[in-house]
């Protein structure tokens, strides 16, 4: 999947959609994606293969939607913002369960601290047991 600007997706290029981006941020990022440079005006026909949004349609759209994009873009029957709307909807739908799961922890940070504390305790017990076994094998039992 390319970045929002058509380059390789990378945080350093600032062209990513974050897994925890809210709906407004995702919508803004996709709406401002560059499109086919040949489509200067809404009435100019375009070529989806030259548009970074098309790569998102390949990943998110069904055949019927892809056909709609191909025909609409090439004939200038749809505008670039119209073309982006189904992508926005699909990305938001895909990330919805992740945002819902994360919201619980954002609302109550003590849950995260509790999980980390439990993990630390388990790791500490495992490390102590491993160290005991190592000392035993090496004959370093000073008890």
- pLDDT tens profile 56-110: 999 999 999 999 999 999 999 999 999 999 999 999 999 999 999 999 999 999 9
Considering the domain architecture, whether residues 23 and 93 belong to the same structural domain is answered as yes
Higher pLDDT, residue 19 or 87 = 87
Considering the domain architecture, whether residues 123 and 103 belong to the same structural domain is answered as no
**C-alpha to C-alpha distance for 22 and 143, rounded to whole angstroms:** 57
Q: Could you give the number of structural domains in the chain?
A: 2
Q: With 0.85 as the threshold, say if the pTM is over it.
A: no
Considering the domain architecture, whether residues 68 and 87 belong to the same structural domain is answered as yes
Instruction: Give domain status of residue 6, yes or no.
Output: no
Mean pLDDT of the region 109-121? 96
Considering the domain architecture, whether residues 100 and 131 belong to the same structural domain is answered as no
pLDDT band at 143 (very low <50, low <70, confident <90, very high): low
Instruction: Give domain status of residue 115, yes or no.
Output: yes
CB-based contacts of 135, cutoff 8 Å, min separation 6: 141
Phi, then psi, of 27 in degrees rounded to 5: -60, -45
Instruction: Give domain status of residue 71, yes or no.
Output: yes
Instruction: Give domain status of residue 5, yes or no.
Output: no
Considering the domain architecture, whether residues 142 and 101 belong to the same structural domain is answered as no
**C-alpha to C-alpha distance for 91 and 5, rounded to whole angstroms:** 16
Instruction: Give domain status of residue 78, yes or no.
Output: yes
Considering the domain architecture, whether residues 142 and 103 belong to the same structural domain is answered as no
User: Can you give the residue range of the structural domain that contains 127?
Assistant: 108-143
**C-alpha to C-alpha distance for 86 and 95, rounded to whole angstroms:** 14
For residue 8, the 8-state DSSP code is: B
């Amino acid at each position: 999947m390319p970045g929002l600007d058509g380059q390789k997706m990378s945080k350093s290029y600032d062209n990513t959609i974050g897994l925890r981006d809210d709906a407004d941020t995702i919508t803004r990022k996709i709406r401002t994606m560059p499109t086919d440079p040949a489509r200067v005006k809404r009435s100019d026909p375009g070529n989806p293969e030259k548009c970074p949004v098309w790569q998102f349609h390949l990943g998110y759209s069904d055949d019927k939607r892809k056909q709609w994009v191909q025909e609409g873009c090439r004939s200038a029957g749809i505008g670039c913002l119209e073309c982006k709307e189904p992508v926005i909807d699909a990305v938001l739908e895909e990330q919805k369960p992740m945002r819902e799961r994360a919201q619980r922890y954002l609302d109550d940070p003590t849950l995260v601290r509790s999980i980390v504390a439990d993990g630390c305790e388990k790791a500490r017990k495992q490390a102590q047991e491993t160290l005991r076994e190592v000392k035993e094998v090496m004959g370093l039992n000073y008890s």
